Structure 1
Amino acid sequence: MPRRIRLLLIIESMGGSSRHVVDLIDGLDPERFEITLIHGTSRVDDYFAAALPRLRQRARVLGCPDLVREISPAHEARALRFVRRVIRDIRPDVVHCHSSKAGAIGRVAAKLCGVGKVFYTPHAYAFLAPEFGGKKRMVFVGIERFLSRHATTLTFNVSQGERSAALAEHLDRPDKFEVVYNGIADIPLPTKAEAREALGLPQDVPVAGVTARLVEQKDPMTSVRIAAQVLQARPDAHFAYIGDGDFEERMRQAAREAGVADRVHFLGYRKDADRLVTAFDAYLLTSLYEGMPYSLVEALRAGVPIAATRTTGNDEVVIEGENGTLFPVGDVQAGAVALLGLLDDPPSRERVRATYLERFTVRRMLDHIAARYEQRGTDE
C-alpha cells in the first residue's frame, strides 16, 4: 500500500471557512491522507467546537492561541514559530491554508520549510471588504500578490467572482487560481411543519427568513427594513432570523418602529439552523460582500427560493428565474420587491434544488481538492 499523503490544514477564523475545513477532514479518505489541523483558539464558534471531538478521531488537532484575527506583530511572530515547528515535526507533503491570516502565516512558514505543495483558500479576500479602502486595501493586495507569486502552488477560490477579483488585481497567473464551490451533504431534512414547530413559528402563514450572523457584513439593518416593507404589504406574513450578533437590539427597535415587531421573530443561534431552513417559504440575504455563503447553498438544498444582494458569491448561487432573484446591495425597495415576488410566485422546490444537485454537493468539492493534493509534482 502506498504511503499516505501527509496533509497539514491551517485555519484561524470561524464561520464558513471552519465548516469547509470540517468537511475536508470528515470527507477525505483516511487510507489516503494523514491529516494534521492547526486552528486558532480565540474564536472557536459553536459549530467548530461541536465538531472537535469527531475531528480528533480523524486528525491530529493542534490549537494555536497566537493565530488571531487582529493584526498583532507579536502574535504573528509566535504563530509563525508555532507553525514552523509543526511543519518540521510532521514534514507534510501538502499544506493547505484557509482565510487571510492563516493564509499568510501558513504560506510563509511552508515556504521557509521547503514544503512542495502549498494551497490556499481565501474564503473572501480581505481586500474585498468594504471597510478596507485606500492604503490599507493596497497593503492587503500587495501581501496577497507577493504570497501568491512566491509561496503558493495553487489558490482555490470559492466563487468565480472571487477568482476574477484576484485576476483584476494581478495577484498571479490565471492558471494559479481554480474555482471550487463550497459543497454540502444531501442529508434528510425536516418537513416545513416540523421545522416551524421546532422554531415556534406559525404553521399556516407565509414565512420568509434567514440563517445568518447579525453582523455588519450581512447588512442586517437593510434586512430588517426589507422585512418591514414586506410585512406591511403582506399582513399575513412573518419573518424569522436564526442567528445572533451585535445588531439584534437595533433590529428589534426598527421592527417596533415599523409596527411589525409581533411578526418579526429573533430566534437566536441554533446549531441545527442548516436543517431548519425548511421552515421558510423564501430566503433573504442582504450581505455587503461574500466569498461563497453556505447559507444560500443550504437554502437551495432545502428547496427554498432566494432573494439576495448582487455581490460576489451570491450571484453564482442565485440564478434569476430559476431559484430566486438578485437586487442591488443596500436597496431596500428592490429587496422588498424581490422577496414579495418569491412569496407570491415561488419556483418549485425541485427547480430550486436542481442547482444544488448540479453544482454544490460536498462530493464534488472533495473530489476536486483531493485530486489536486494527489497530483504529482507542483504547479509552480
Structure 2
Amino acid sequence: MPKTKVLLILESQGGSRRHVVDLIHGLDPARFEVTLIYGTSRMDKQFIEGLDDLARYARLIPCDHLVRPISPKDELAALKQVRCVIREIRPDVVHCHSSKAGIIGRLAAKLEHVPKVFYTPHAYSFQAPEFGGKKRVVFVGLERWFSRHATTCTFNVSAGERDAALAEKLDAPSKFDVIVNGIPDEPVPSRAQARAALGLPADGKVVGVTARMVEQKDPMTFARIAAAVTAADPTVTFVYIGDGPLEQDVHEYLNAAGGDVAERVRLLGYREDADAVVSAFDAYLLTSLYEGMPYSLIEALRAGVPVVTTDVTGNNEVVRPGVNGELFPAGDAEAGAAAVRRVLAEPPTREAVRGSYLDRFTADRMVDAIAAHYQGLGRDGGRNGGKSTR
C-alpha cells in the first residue's frame, strides 16, 4: 500500500512548533511520508537545535517569506513557494498550523487541488483580547471563508476553541473536530533533583510557572498572587521561569511590594529544561488571559503537580477542580491567591494528577486521532470520529 504523503506548514513557534514536532515524531514512517515547510523568521532555540534530528523523520523545507507581520510581498512569495512544493511532491494531505500558515497553506492547497486540507488554529486570532473592532471582523471573515472553501476539517485543540468557531458561524459543526494537545510520557527529575537544578531550598512549598512574560500570560497577576500568599506565609517560594517584554514591570512591582516579597519570588528567566524542572513545584500557577490548549499545564500534570489557573478556554478543559487543581477568574489576584492556598493546604494526590494526564493528554492519543483523519478514518470517514486507535 503506498504511503500517504503529508505536507505540514508552520510559521509560528512555541506550542505550535511543539505540536508539529511531536506529530512528525509520532507518525508511522511505514504509513506516512512527511514534508515540513517552516518559516525561518521566528525559529526558537529548541526548534533550531532539533532540526538535524527532525530531518530523520521528515523532509524539511525552510521558507524565509513565511513571516508573521502582514507583508503582501512576502505573502505572495510564500504562496508561490508552497505551490511549487505541492506541485513537486503531490501530497495527499496538507495540514496548516496557526493563522498565517493557515491562510497561505490553505490557499495554495486549494489552487493546486489537494484532496485533503486540514487546519489547526492553535487559538484563533480573533480570540485575542487585543484584536477588536475592524481587525476582529477581518480575522473572522478570513477564517470563515477559508473554512468553507478551502478546508476539509479544522482540528481544534480545545472544545472552547471549537465553540468560538461555531459562535462566529465559521462553518458547519461537522467541519470541526476537537483533538487536544498531547505530550510523550517521558520521565522527569525528582522533586529534590529539580529543586537542586533551580537552586531552590529542599524544604518548604514552591509555587511556579513556566511561561513567557507577555500580555497573554498576565505575569503581573502572578506577581500579585505571589505577594499576597508570601505576605501571609513566608515559607512559600514563588518561581517564574521565562522571559519577555513584561519582565522589568514584574521586577519593579515586586521590589515596590515591600517586606521580603522580592526575595520570596524568584524570576529565573528562560530555561531549556523548563518542561522537566516543573517537578520542583508543589503547585503550578498559570494566570493566562486566554489560551488554546497550553502545553505547560499538561507538563505539570505529567509531573504529578496540581494546577491553579484561570478559568478560560483551554485551561478549564485541563483542570478538574478538586481532582487535579483549581480554577479562578482571569485577572482576579485575590481569588487566585485563595485557590493557591487551598491547593497547598489540601493537595490532590500525585497519582490523581498524573492519572488526569494519562487519561487524555498523551502524544499517542493526539497523533492517532490526526493520523486517522489523514487516512480518511476520522470524522470524515465515519469510522472512529478522530478518537485514538491505540
The one-letter code matched in structure 2 to 1:256 is: N
Aligned to 1:295, the other structure's residue is in SS state helix
Query: Is the 8 Å Cα contact of residues 211 and 295 (structure 1) preserved in structure 2?
Result: yes
The aligned counterpart of 1:284 is: 285
User: Residues 377 and 359 of structure 1: is their aligned pair in 2 closer, same or farther, counting only changes over 3 Å?
Assistant: closer
**Worse-superposed segment, 150-159 or 73-82:** 73-82
The aligned counterpart of 1:224 is: 223
Query: Is the 8 Å Cα contact of residues 177 and 379 (structure 2) preserved in structure 1?
Result: no
CA RMSD of aligned residues (A): 1.3
The aligned counterpart of 1:74 is: 73
The aligned counterpart of 2:197 is: 198
The aligned counterpart of 2:357 is: 356
Regions of 4+ moved over 6 Å: none
Shift of 1:379: 4.4
Distance 1:68 1:289 in 2: 23
Query: Is the 8 Å Cα contact of residues 325 and 338 (structure 1) preserved in structure 2?
Result: yes
The one-letter code matched in structure 2 to 1:52 is: L
The aligned counterpart of 2:324 is: 323
Distance 1:361 1:233 in 2: 38
The aligned counterpart of 1:267 is: 268
Aligned to 2:228, the other structure's residue is in SS state helix
Distance 2:23 2:377 in 1: 20
Distance 1:258 1:279 in 2: 25
Distance 2:324 2:18 in 1: 24
The one-letter code matched in structure 2 to 1:244 is: D
The aligned counterpart of 2:172 is: 173
Aligned length: 379
Query: Is the 8 Å Cα contact of residues 196 and 203 (structure 1) preserved in structure 2?
Result: yes
The one-letter code matched in structure 2 to 1:257 is: A
User: Residues 377 and 109 of structure 1: is their aligned pair in 2 closer, same or farther, counting only changes over 3 Å?
Assistant: farther
The normalised TM-score by structure 1 is 0.98
Distance 1:378 1:318 in 2: 27
Distance 1:278 1:376 in 2: 37
Q: After superposition, where does 1:306-321 map in structure 2 within 5 Å? A: 306-321=307-322
Shift of 1:50: 2.1
Aligned to 2:101, the other structure's residue is in SS state helix
Aligned to 2:30, the other structure's residue is in SS state coil
The aligned counterpart of 2:237 is: 238
User: Residues 132 and 82 of structure 1: is their aligned pair in 2 closer, same or farther, counting only changes over 3 Å?
Assistant: same
User: Residues 91 and 377 of structure 1: is their aligned pair in 2 closer, same or farther, counting only changes over 3 Å?
Assistant: farther
Distance 2:58 2:188 in 1: 28
The one-letter code matched in structure 1 to 2:302 is: R
Distance 1:304 1:124 in 2: 25
Shift of 1:353: 1.1
Shift of 1:24: 0.8
Distance 1:370 1:94 in 2: 11
The one-letter code matched in structure 2 to 1:192 is: R
Deviations 1:247-285 (A, max 9, x none): 111111111111311111111111111111000000110
Q: After superposition, where does 1:1-380 map in structure 2 within 5 Å? A: 2-259=1-258, 260-375=261-376, 379=380
Distance 1:227 1:377 in 2: 45
User: Residues 175 and 209 of structure 1: is their aligned pair in 2 closer, same or farther, counting only changes over 3 Å?
Assistant: same
The one-letter code matched in structure 1 to 2:278 is: V
The one-letter code matched in structure 1 to 2:318 is: V
Distance 1:266 1:177 in 2: 40
The normalised TM-score by structure 2 is 0.95
Distance 1:379 1:282 in 2: 40
Distance 2:18 2:306 in 1: 23
Query: Is the 8 Å Cα contact of residues 206 and 237 (structure 1) preserved in structure 2?
Result: yes
Query: Is the 8 Å Cα contact of residues 369 and 378 (structure 2) preserved in structure 1?
Result: no
Deviations 1:95-115 (A, max 9, x none): 000000000100000000000
Shift of 1:45: 0.8
Aligned to 2:272, the other structure's residue is in SS state coil
Distance 1:46 1:290 in 2: 22
Distance 2:40 2:70 in 1: 16
Deviations 1:258-315 (A, max 9, x none): 1311111111111111111000000110111100000000011111111101111000
**Worse-superposed segment, 44-53 or 101-110:** 44-53
The one-letter code matched in structure 2 to 1:359 is: R
Aligned to 2:126, the other structure's residue is in SS state helix
Shift of 1:376: 6.9
User: Residues 55 and 235 of structure 1: is their aligned pair in 2 closer, same or farther, counting only changes over 3 Å?
Assistant: same
User: Residues 337 and 312 of structure 1: is their aligned pair in 2 closer, same or farther, counting only changes over 3 Å?
Assistant: same
Query: Is the 8 Å Cα contact of residues 22 and 51 (structure 1) preserved in structure 2?
Result: no
The one-letter code matched in structure 1 to 2:172 is: R
